[in-house]
Amino acid sequence: MRDTPSSNNTGPQPIDIEAVGDLRGLRLFLDRYEQEILRPVELPAVLSAYWFANRGQFRELLQLDAGLSANAALMPFADASLSVGREQLRLLKPMYDQRMVQRFRKCVVAGEARGWSPVVFGIFLSIHSVPVREGLVQFGTRLWSGLVNGARESRRLPEGECTELLGEYLDRLPGWIEEVVAESMGEEGARLAAVS
């Protein structure tokens, strides 16, 4: 069974952490994740959730959460993202007096929202008044550390090389964050400039 007539199978393949078996495979996975998910989807989602929460735009938060649910590229990572998002909501329990958190949690419990990690993290940044760039660095650092360390432990990859690899991706993170923030200030994001 062949997907394409080409022998090099150039069609897009799903991003699969389970297929990682060595450092080269991990690097290829991280490169694709960075290009196809982190930069175009997750960092902008955290930023949008932050702004929506700052402004009390609850309907927009729900739409953002639904939009992530409709993104096919995220489906291989849905269980992990939803698990992290829901755990973050649980940790915010002492802050349920915050109306936004309480409403969003109720929607997740009722099945009206899924609780994607980028959305919950953006809400967290907003209610704790964390500067947006600092918060995006925290999000990216946790994500990269989780992916690299998880692969290192499950595949028994060399710790030193994994630490070096993690450092490479963390070094690039501030540049991607600046790109996402700058794009948010463009046509559609111009309304955000007054808040940043």
CATH number at residue 126: 1.10.4190.10
Q: Is residue 54 part of a domain?
A: yes
pLDDT at res. 91: 87
pLDDT at res. 179: 94
Q: Is residue 13 part of a domain?
A: no
Q: Is residue 28 part of a domain?
A: yes
pLDDT at res. 21: 85
Half-sphere exposure of 57 (CA within 13 A, CB side): 14
Ranges of residues in the chain with a pLDDT under 50 are: 1-11, 187-196
Q: Is residue 14 part of a domain?
A: no
Q: Is residue 12 part of a domain?
A: no
pLDDT at res. 14: 61
pLDDT at res. 192: 41
Q: Structural domain tally of the chain? A: 1
pLDDT at res. 185: 76
Its pTM stands at: 0.85
Residues 131, 164: Cα–Cα separation, whole Å: 28
Host domain of residue 169: 20-192
Q: Is residue 45 part of a domain?
A: yes
Q: Is residue 6 part of a domain?
A: no
